[in-house]
């Protein structure tokens, strides 16, 4: 998505400035769909993010992709009682500095 590219480009700039920095890309889904589907979707989301960073010149050795599926929502709702806005908050990628 174009809005994600803006944020990812800022991460690229940061990683180009700090050339020893390595990160984990942790991707998450909402709680709709099966556990298996959401795990796979989050893994694809994380890998897509890593692929984008690599395409911008970041070395693959500095990146880890991990999909968490629906296991770590950021709100207390579930697939049935979440608003669309709450569902959207759970669909995300987070970045953890490893080095």
pLDDT recorded at residue 1: 77
pLDDT recorded at residue 29: 95
pLDDT recorded at residue 80: 77
Within 8 A by CB and 6+ apart from 38, the residues are 29, 30, 31, 32, 69, 70
Average pLDDT over the chain reads 94
Q: Is 22 exposed, middle or buried (0-12, 13-18, 19+ CB in 10 A)?
A: middle
Chain mean position to CA 99: 18
pLDDT recorded at residue 93: 96
pLDDT recorded at residue 3: 85
- pTM across the whole model: 0.89
Which residue ranges of the chain lie beneath pLDDT 50?
none
């Amino acid at each position: 998505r174009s809005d994600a590219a803006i944020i990812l480009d800022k991460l690229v700039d940061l990683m180009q400035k700090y050339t020893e920095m390595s990160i984990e890309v942790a991707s998450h889904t909402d709680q709709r769909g099966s556990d298996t589907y959401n795990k796979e979707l989050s893994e694809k989301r994380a890998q897509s993010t890593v692929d984008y960073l690599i395409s911008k010149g970041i070395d693959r050795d500095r990146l880890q992709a991990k999909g968490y599926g629906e296991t770590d929502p950021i709100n207390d709702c579930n697939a049935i009682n979440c608003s669309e806005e709450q569902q959207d908050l759970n669909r995300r990628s987070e970045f953890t500095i490893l080095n």
